[in-house]
Structures are given as C-alpha cells and as structure tokens.
Chain A
Amino acid sequence: MLSRRQAFSAAALLAWACFAAPDSAAGQTRAGGAVLRIGYLGLLPDRRMPNTFLDPPPQDEGVQGARLGIADNATTGRFTGQEFVLEERLLRDAEAVEPAFRELLAEGIRFVLADLPAPLLLQMADLPEAREVMLLNLGAPEDALRNESCRRNLLHLLPSRGMLADALAQFLASKRWRNLMLAVGPQPGDQLYAEAIRRAARKFGLRIVADKPWTYNPGARRTDTGHLSIAAEAARFTQGAPAYDILVVADEAGDWGDDLAYRTSDPRPVAGTQGMVSTSWARPHEQWGATQLQRRFRARAGRWMLPRDYAAWLGTRALGEAATRARSTDPEAVARQLRDPGFEIAGFKGVPLSFRDWDGQLRQPVLLADARSLVSVSPQPGFQHQFSELDTLGTDRPESRCQFR
C-alpha cells in the first residue's frame, strides 16, 4: 500500500509528467507563463546606538533573504514556466503597516512574508480581508502565536523562543551541565526568553539555581576605562551565586549580554542570546551544503546571512517549492500544497523541514554556535520522539494550546 507521502509524490510526478500548459488562474506573464506574486511586509527596527560597531545591524535584514529566494525560485521557474515576483513594502512607521498590507491584498496578493512584531502581525491576520491570505511570520518568536494566539492564516518560519530554549536545554542536559544561572534583561522579549528557558529547564531536568534581573545600564562602557566598571558589575552580579555550570543570558537586543563572559566571579561559560547562541542560522554553519547558501547570499547582499534572512529565504522557497510540486501558481493550489502533511522543503540542515499541522510552525533543527564555530545542532541524539525528533523542540501536539479560529 502506498503511504500518503508516496501517494503524494506519485501524484505530483504524474501531474508533472502530463506537462500540460501552465495554469492561467493567477495571471499571465509577458512570456505567457504563470506568476506567483509574493508580498513582503517589513517594519524596520529603530536605528539605535549599537552595542558594538563590529556588526552594525543591516537595514535590509530579512528582505535580502526573500530576494535570494525569489532568484532561486526564478531559476527553477525557467524550466516550469513559472515566474515569482516580490512586492516589497519596507516601512519605518508602524501606522503605515496596515495600509501597506491592504494595498498588497488589493493587488491580488495572497501570500505575504511578514517581519512584524507580534501584536501587529495578529492585527493583520485578523483583518476581514486577510481570511484567505497566508501570512508567513519571519520576525515574531512569541510562543503565544503558536499557542493561545494562533491563527489559521499564519505560518511561522522562524523558531519560537520555546524551540530555541529547548535546543539549548537539550544540549546542556546531554553535557550534564544541569545547574544554570539565569540573567534576565529588562525588555519584554527578554522576559519571554527567560520564561522559555525556565520551561525548558523543567522539561529537560535542569535546575535554575539563580535567576536574577540584569538592571545595570552600561551606557558609559565605551568611555575610557569603561571596561573596568562593566567588569566590576559582572563580578558583583555573579558573586555568591550558588554553584552553577553555565550562565544563561536573556538579552535579545544584545545590549549587555556580550559583557558577561570572562568577567564572572567563577570561570563559567555563557550561553543563550549571547555567548553560545541558540539560533536558526549562524555564520559558522557550513554543513549539509550550507556553504552554498552562505556564499550565494553574501555574493548578492554583500554581508552575512542573518536568522531573519534565513526565515525569509525559507518562506520564499517554500512557496516556490509548493508551486513547483503543485504545478500551479494558483494561490489555492499553492496553499493546499503548503498544508499537505507530505510537503517538505530542504533548508541546509541535513533533514527535511515541514510545517506542524497543529500550529503552523516550521519544524527545524536549531543551531548552537558562537561567533566562529558551530558547537552543536539540536535535537540532540537520544531525545527521541514517536513521530519526528524535531518535535522535541517547542510545543508538541499534545501540549499545544492552539485552537485555530
């Protein structure tokens, strides 16, 4: 008997073999082929004084990944008679997001890559005219979006904070570094990241022996002798803590997390949002053909690929792959393909990636890396799962609080 996966591939290939004229439902190109138009809606982050001038935050993070994905899709499209067009809306003003979104929809666009904060993302998803639209989330790691605030028209290309925390916790458990000290920044994202770390610790049998807010604002660090005050502060912060194996920092903006390593009272490694980071993409990653993607991206963008770029590339590629497999650029056919349980995409992480049907999250391995080396990739060997080991990261089906509406 054919498995669903087999049946799906067989059907897709059969359809392909027939080689009928490309469908015309989604409009004609100049060449007469089919077009899939993809929207990109991005709210640019505020320009702020960066913690370091080594890696200034680029103003095109995300959209460069989408542009590369479009180019990759176009190469495939040459052979399939499909064309892919990116409609970019990069905005500085949150107020401008909704009008821009409506404009994209008015142009007939049904797939929108969205790099928006969670509240804005939900606001777009809940618009009446967005019912038949699919939003591909590139920038909001909130676990709530995959649980109580989930939406049927949202797919999440980036890992949730829970997935990042679970990836780190699995690594620490397999190293038997069971005692954690947690340093939590003041931002709302930092609080959520810390909460994810606490949940992951419970899930994988780790102990948080100290859990402290980081309140010191090291604004004067760049002045002469500024290093002395930050070193003294880090030493004070960690002095007298119960015996711990590793210091986990929650500082998503990168304001102070890099200033703790080598300055703690006890010699302890740092991980979390700084030090050894848990991330979907990292510069040192070169396995499973990732070198090719890194090179392709650098040649085009003139800088290294960042996690948001990777999410955007994945989203664009997923749409391209769905159109190829569906042999159609008709939005309904593409959406059906994306939702098919057998739908998989390759993402340079050695395993096929697919969407969880219970919350729309893309299953994916999570990298653990520092600035210059890939330390590990989670899920760690030994963390088994009856369906997919990738589901040991983040909210699994049984504990999901997502009820689509």
Chain B
Amino acid sequence: MIEVKGVTKRFGDFTALDDVSLEIPDGSLTALLGPSGSGKSTLLRIIAGLEVPDTGTVVIQDEDVTNRPAQKRGIGFVFQHYAAFKHMSVRDNVAFGLTIRKRPKDEINARVDELLEVVGLQGYQKRYPSQLSGGQRQRMALARALAVEPRVLLLDEPFGALDAKVRAELRAWLRRLHDEVHVTTVLVTHDQEEAMEITDRIAVLDGGKIEQVGAPRELYDNPSTEFVMSFLGPVTKVEGALVRPHDLSIFTEPVDGGIEAQVLRVVHLGFEVRVELVLGGGEEVSVQLTRAEAEQLEVADGDIVYVREPRPAAAPSA
C-alpha cells in the first residue's frame, strides 16, 4: 500500500498540493485524475521521490520513504515524453536498471528478452529510440521501468503525447498488462475516459486538493461535488441543478414534473442524438437520446416539448 499523509507542496506562491492524504491499495490500478494545475503530477512525483514535499509523509509498503531519494524507493516511473536514453539501444535502455545493479550478463539478457516480449517489442533489441514510433518508445520505457521489479509503477500521463488511435490501443494493453503483472500502479491523467476505462480506482484532484476517491462507477453515479460530476462526464443544468444529459427525458405532451422548453436544434451524432433546448427563462439544456428514442419522438427545431428527469438528480443542487 502507498500512503500519502498530509502532503503540502508549494512552488513559490503557487500551492501545488494542499494537505493531501491518499491511500493506494496493493495491486490496484489507480488514476490521479484532474485538470492541468490540479497537482496530480506533483503528487505522483512526490510518491516517486522526484519532488520533496514541504510537509507530510509518504509510506510505501509500511516503510516511511519521505526522506529517501528516488533511486532507493523501488519504484518504476514512466514519463509523458518517454525519457528514452537516446544514445542507448533498446536492449541497453531496458537493461539499464539491471546493469546499474551489476547483475550477471546472462541474467540481464534473459530478463530483457522476456520483458520485450511482454511489451511486444521482441526483436527490437538493437534498434535505437530514434528508430521507434512514439507508442513503441513508451512500451520500451515501460519495459525499462518493469525490469527492476518495482514495488510501485508510476505513470505520468504516459499516453499524453500519442495520437488517439495508439492511445486507445495502449490503454487496453496497459490494462491487460496490469492484470498479468499485478504491480501496484498509479496513473496520472487528465483524460476522464482513460481513467474510467482502465483503472479500478480514481482519485479526482482539483486545485491541489483531493475531491473524491472511489471506483469509476461510484464516482460517475454518486459524485460528491459538482466538480467531480462535471469532470467525469457531460453535464447540463436544469433549473440550477446539474444532471447528465442522458438522464433527461423528452415528452411531446405535458407531463408531471415536466418543464416546458423549445427545441433549438437536433444534432445527430451517429447512434446518439443530442437535442438542445431552451427553457422559458432562456436557460439552455442539452438532452442525449438514443436514435430510436429520437425517431419515436419526431422532434424538430422550434417544437415545444416537456423535459423531465426520470430519476432524482444525482448531484447536489448548486
């Protein structure tokens, strides 16, 4: 388990982390999710020992490592921009941690081959980082971090520099890898979809504080603050309350609890249909329907409809 207790970190006048405490269970894949400047990367770097907190402690597997330098924490770290050792071959990159530990050459070679197979780079031993694609470099960096059998794997926006397609592939791949390797993993991301898709726990950060921690589903369904609700998925405001656009229903006849609205625009997004409405007070609301629902309703621009939440609002009112 990783325990962060009462950690505060300031850079000049800027408070990156404000009295943050967090527990990360062994074997979990946890996301630190938040907008830029929320302190998520700083928190990860403090766990790694690449940054020293002003106050507070970091405990990894019951050992207080607060004052221990990064090289003695038993961690693996993956950087957004790969941090590949450009002058070394793929083999030497992956072998680096083992070479430093002066392991026998046979053992190193065997381990490197094994890891390159795990990350799908078998046969790339002699290439140089400049001859690899971004996704391949990041997989090499992962193999390099895993080579030293870290107690904790820390990933700082690992897919942030990759294009959308490669990013999606690597996400799924990382999830499978974690299921095989089971090393406690912390992933920093600003992409809620990424966090929802591959992690089993999410800690949402904003302004240097942790807003909420929980399973992705739990956070999505029961967000404790407006910030968490709006960060984890699309939201729209109905009479001051935040709701998810897909939780709203549209009726062509007046219904109990329905609010009269006029259709501004109907946007077809493949399987989904987004209906943009304007309420009597000028408030704009967006409703998400399936294509079948939209076809049944036959709403068009300018129609008067009635909008209602089928369930009580999940979010606290503003």
Do A and B interact with each other, yes or no? no
Question: Which residues does A use to contact B, with CB under 8 Å?
Answer: none
